[in-house]
Chain A
Amino acid sequence: DTAVSQTPKYLVTQMGNDKSIKCEQNLGHDTMYWYKQDSKKFLKIMFSYNNKELIINETVPNRFSPKSPDKAHLNLHINSLELGDSAVYFCASSRVEETQYFGPGTRLLVL
């Protein structure tokens, strides 16, 4: 009965590959987010979707493309992976105007 789940938990891949990370929430929330935790441990927002519509898009390379097939899912697709993309990616969800709840994270390592 995990509230916010992400797959895969670990992802090791070569530079130049394309990969996707999936996120699902069963909390009935209408807003979902992607955050990146870099090597300095800062958590920074990348994207936010409300009811399948993009509402926050921070300065993120366009190699990163979020896709929200429905309110319960927000997937992150990354093209042409680079070494600097290695990080932990967290998905989160909330009702509008309420606290955000985070998934367990996906540890991406680009070799």
Chain B
Amino acid sequence: DQQVKQNSPSLSVQEGRISILNCDYTNSMFDYFLWYKKYPAEGPTFLISISSIKDKNEDGRFTVFLNKSAKHLSLHIVPSQPGDSAVYFCAASAGYGNKLVFGAGTILRVKS
């Protein structure tokens, strides 16, 4: 039973444009959400997070939006750069510091 779903296996975007990665969850107990970025043959790297008391968190080119009523979050990358090409994992936990439940990941390709 997938509690965190990333329904787009891949996304291709032109350099300089916006990348939007989506994530849906089913467990209403989740209250902390993270995005991780992963390059081949490396471990996931923390990118940005958001707690359920917020609906937006911004860090440079990266913004995460949370819609609790829809159980949906998204990661916006503006402007997209070729170095952003990686697999992006959405993760959620029921309580800050508890186990993370990951989505299947979305492969982002930024074309120059």
Size bin of chain B's contact surface: 20 to 34
Which residue from B42, B46, B91, B104 sits with its C-beta under 8 Å from A101?
A: B46
Minimum CB distance partner of B42 in chain A: A104
Chain A residues with Cβ below 8 Å from B87 are 41
Q: In the complex, are the beta carbons of B45 and A102 less than 8 A apart?
A: yes
Q: Report which residue of A40, A44, A100 has the largest number of chain B beta carbons within 10 angstroms of its beta carbon.
A: A100
Produce 1/0 per residue, B86-106, CB < 8 A to A.
Answer: 010101000011011110110
**Which residues of chain B have C-beta atoms less than 8 A from A31's C-beta?**
97
List CB contacts (< 8 Å) of A50-85 with chain B.
56, 58
Tell me how far the C-beta of B59 lies from the nearest C-beta in chain A, rounded to whole angstroms: 13
Q: Which residue of A lies closest to B47 (CB)?
A: A99
> Which 10 residue pairs across A and B have the least CB separation, nearest first?
A102-B43, A97-B97, A43-B102, A45-B99, A102-B44, A104-B43, A97-B96, A99-B46, A103-B43, A56-B99
